Amino acid sequence: MKEVLVLGAGYAGLKAVRNLQKQARDFHITLVDKNNYHYEATELHEVASGSQPKEKISYLITDVINPKKVTFIQDEVLKVTPEAKIAELKNTGVISYDYVVISLGFCSETFGISGAKENALEMVNVETAENVHRHILKMMTKYRETKDANYLRLVICGAGFTGIELAGAFVDEKKKYAEIAGVSPDQIEIICLEAATRILPMFNDALAQHGVDLLKKLGVNLMLGSMIKEIKPGEVVYTRGSEADALRYSIFAETIIWTTGVSGSPVMAQSGFDEHRGRVVVKKDLRDPKYDNVYVIGDVSALIEPETNRPYPTTAQIATRMGAHVAKNLGHQLKGEPLEDFNYKSLGTVASVGNTRAFGLVGKNAIKGYPASFVKKSIMNKSLVDIGGLKELLAKGRFDLYH
């Protein structure tokens, strides 16, 4: 019996397994993940702010796999050796495969900025998101004891989708933080530093400006054109405007969160794949160019978009679609049939700014406010049902669309 190994149970890997297990073919699937749960990575900002508990954005992997067809191993993947068709796991040791699907997801990218790893908080998985929330609560308590305003200041580094969604979630939770600190909500400062002079390059100027205005209206201090150079304990060092401007400025804060971008899992470099920032440029059928039995999907893959000749942005939406496509192509490959190219059209890109506000694009149409928030939650619900099935949708789905 052929062995299909799937590494990583994020959007891409778990979707591949869910679709593969429906195929009544003569193969066995092994799924490996370091956690025993799948989590909705697009909702980590809600756990970080405290607006959702981790249980609301995660579910057990064993709840959605068929044990007759899939063996789940909870372990950390250290390396894949495609020449030998083996993967090395931290505790289990070496396991072999006939086909492998690598879907190991993302990690935080510091771009070598001094002190970022040591002195800023990451928000890349459930633990780090929970850690952000715990940290904020602790800082609010410290304010009560010290009356030092640095404890009330929340600094977000980078205004990409992650930074903006986190800022929006903080706005929603400001009141709770203020109660703990014993201050008025206006005294909680939310600052977001962004190197670029405008946000979200995939949106046109008007839509991006709408986002800037919305954040401003909500009291977020969005500092565009601020390039972070160093993170010291309790201090963000940055320059303003052009690089030629050698003057350095500082913001002092006891909560600094790092959201300046992501790269693919370090396992890709460790395994000797031809990668850049942890991403491997894959063929149109989603396989590695060198190995016919190696599929690379989700945040560790870079699929070139024909119109722009640049890799598609890494999103949950494309990762889920890739997972489904790999299941289809593996089915073909196991039967000796020709593989299909992956075709992708984004359903839309929406940034939430708290629970009831959002802005983004559906097709070429800009959407804002409540309708955008509705679309964002519908995308979330679709992802839940796509991967977790109806059971997870009913347990975790967002039905609070109209409050």
Q: Name which position in 49, 293, 315, 373 contacts ligand NAD (CB under 6 A).
A: 315
Residue nearest to ligand NAD (CB): 160
Determine the Cα–Cα distance for residues 181 and 188; give it in Å rounded to an integer. 9
Q: Using the rule CB under 6 A, give the single segment among 86-94, 203-211, 255-263, 265-273 that binds ligand NAD.
A: 255-263
Answer for which of 14, 193, 207, 375 binds ligand NAD (CB under 6 A) is: 193
Closest CA to 262 of 21, 44, 35: 44
Strands 294-296, 99-102: pairing is parallel
Q: If binding is defined by CB under 6 A, does position 149 make contact with ligand NAD?
A: no
Site stretch for ligand NAD (CB under 6 A), options 63-71, 148-156, 192-200, 365-373: 192-200
Edge-first strand order for the sheet with 294-296 is: 70-74, 27-33, 2-7, 99-102, 294-296
Reported as half-sphere exposure (CB side, CA atoms, 13 A), residue 384 has a value of 22
* Residue 72 engages ligand NAD in binding (rule: CB under 6 A): no
Question: Half-sphere exposure of residue 306, counting CA atoms within 13 Å on the CB side?
Answer: 7
Closest contact distance (angstroms) between CB of 155 and ligand NAD is: 11
Determine the Cα–Cα distance for residues 377 and 385; give it in Å rounded to an integer: 12
Least distance (Å) between residue 350 CB and ligand NAD: 6
Which of the residues 30 through 59 are near ligand NAD (CB under 6 A)? 42
Choosing from 158, 211, 264, 278, the residue that interacts with ligand NAD (CB under 6 A) is 158
Binding mask 346-365 for ligand NAD (x = CB under 6 A): ---xxx--------------
Catalytic choice (46, 109, 122, 165):
165
107 forms part of the interface with ligand NAD (CB under 6 A): no
* 274: Cα within 13 Å, side-chain hemisphere: 9
Q: Does residue number 195 form part of the binding site for ligand NAD (CB under 6 A)?
A: yes
Q: Closest distance between ligand NAD and the C-beta of residue 341, in Å?
A: 22
Which amino acid does the sequence have at 384?
L
Of residues 58 and 293, the one with the C-beta less far from ligand NAD:
58
| Nearer CB in complex with ligand NAD: 104/327 | 104
Question: What are the structure tokens assigned to 12, written together?
Answer: 């891409």
Tokens of 75: 């372990």
Q: Which of 39, 72, 161, 295 binds ligand NAD (CB under 6 A)?
A: 161
Residue 179 among the catalytic residues = no
Print burial letters for 209-231: b (CB count within 10 Å at least 16), e (below 16).
ebbbebbeebebebbebbbbeeb
Question: Binder to ligand NAD among 313, 332, 337, 340 (CB under 6 A)?
Answer: 313
Q: Which residues pair with 263 in a beta bridge?
A: 107
How distant, in Å, are the alpha carbons of 98, 141, 164, 299, 342 from that of 283? 19, 52, 33, 15, 9
By CB under 6 A, name the binding residues for ligand NAD: 42, 111, 113, 157-163, 165, 193-196, 227-228, 259-262, 313-315, 349-351
Annotated catalytic residues are 165
